[in-house]
Amino acid sequence: MQYVYGINSLFTVTSLLDLPILRDILEACNLKPNYSLLGRELDYDRRSIKSHYENGTPDPHRHKPSMIDKFYDIIQTLLSEDTPQQFYYKRVLW
């Protein structure tokens, strides 16, 4: 979406990272954004566009390690070809 504003400049929104800059421009020109149109052009929901517009870019997600990461070596040895594997199962009939 392209915005032409009174400073003789052209600004194009191509990603969510451009929304804080757009906010500064629109506030200076006393305009309101069209969240639905921005959402359609960027392939995001209008509510996501609004939250990014108002709050800036979100914090990156923390990458929490999996609970089984510390047991990865043990699992790898148990499932390797060298370890004999026997599976016992019980069939329940009712």
Each residue's pLDDT tens digit, 46-60: 998 998 898 887 667
Position 94 scores a pLDDT of 61
Beta bridge partners of 4: 10
Instruction: Give the residue-averaged pLDDT of 23-29.
Output: 85
Non-local CB neighbours of 40 within 8 Å, separated by 6+ positions: none
- DSSP secondary structure string for all residues of 9-70: EEEE--SGGGHHHHHHHHHHTT----HHHHHHHHTS-HHHHHHHHHH-SPPPPP-PPPTTGG
Using a pLDDT cut of 90, give the percent of the chain over it: 23
Euclidean distance between CA atoms 45 and 36, whole angstroms: 8
Q: What is the pLDDT of residue 46?
A: 92
Please give the pLDDT value at position 56.
80
pLDDT of residue 38: 93
| pLDDT score of 7 | 63
| For residues 14-42, average pLDDT | 89
Contact at 8 Å (CB) between 47 and 11?
A: no
Average pLDDT along the chain: 83
Predicted confidence at residue 47, as pLDDT, reads 92
Parallel, antiparallel, or unpaired for β 9-12 and 2-5? antiparallel
